[in-house]
A and B are shown apart, each in its own frame.
Chain A
Amino acid sequence: MATSSTDITSLVHEPIDRDTLGAYVRGNGDGAIVIFDGFVRDHSKNRRTLYLEYEAYEPMALAKIQEIAAHLHNQFSIHRIAVVHRLGRLEIGETSVYIVVSAAHRAAAFDACRYAIDTLKRTVPIWKKEYFEDGSSWADGELPPVPSATSAVKPAS
């Protein structure tokens, strides 16, 4: 699925360069950018979190992020998109996912950014393990929607 060649979609193993992404997405024809900055919280369900580790099915995760970007261009009047997710060990306060959307008008940018993070959290194969003082556990997640049987879909090739 093609995305606009000017979008940025990536998985990274180092800190996300937020300023560069924001500056890149912002164009002279735009009137707004909306940013979603997701970062590591110091607690989970009343337990103190020490750090997180993210892993991904990397090629599929990147493809799913690119599908989201393509969908945003089809659904919303937006200019550019950056979606970057970090993997590996992240400390408290570090950004795990950063999404920037630019548009001529704010409504489209807000709507597209919200759609992007909500869809990412439901459909992109990335997993988070939470480390606490007394152990670790995989975070509760969401089950992506999948066709229930092959009768209505093309067989995998």
Chain B
Amino acid sequence: MPSASQSVRVKVLFFGRLKDIAGQAHEAVDLAPAADIESLFARYVSSYPELQQYRSSLVASCNQEFAPWDTVLRTGDEVAFLPPVSGG
């Protein structure tokens, strides 16, 4: 684990089938400095390998805006993994 002074704490949210797989809607996570959204997702894949098959068919958001996978995270960021949307 990164030391408390250097680690980045973010809030992570899951929706739709991703929530079903991860078994939770949200949690706080400590990451290494300079971690990006891709590495955050990879961390969940290592816990829930079933998530990998959805990587190409989901998008991420950071602080409630759609965000590229290489977005570097900072303490306090709110990251969400979003399956294809189906409102309406």
- By a beta-carbon cutoff of 8 Å, the part of chain A in contact with chain B is 38, 54-57, 59-61, 63, 85, 96-97, 117, 120-129, 138-150, 153, 155-157
Contact = CB atoms under 8 A, between A and B. Distances in A.
A126 B86 contact: yes
B57 A155 contact: no
Given A57-B13, A147-B68, A125 B82 contact: yes
A146 B70 CA distance: 12
Nearest to A139: B86
A130 B63 CA distance: 29
A77 to B, nearest CB: 25
B87 interface: yes
- A contact patch SS: mixed
26 contacts: A55-B15, A57-B13, A57-B15, A63-B64, A117-B88, A120-B87, A124-B85, A127-B15, A138-B16, A140-B86, A141-B83, A141-B86, A143-B57, A143-B59, A144-B59, A146-B59, A146-B66, A146-B67, A148-B68, A150-B68, A153-B68, A155-B71, A155-B72, A156-B62, A156-B67, A156-B71
Interface of B: 13, 15-17, 57-72, 74, 77, 80, 82-88
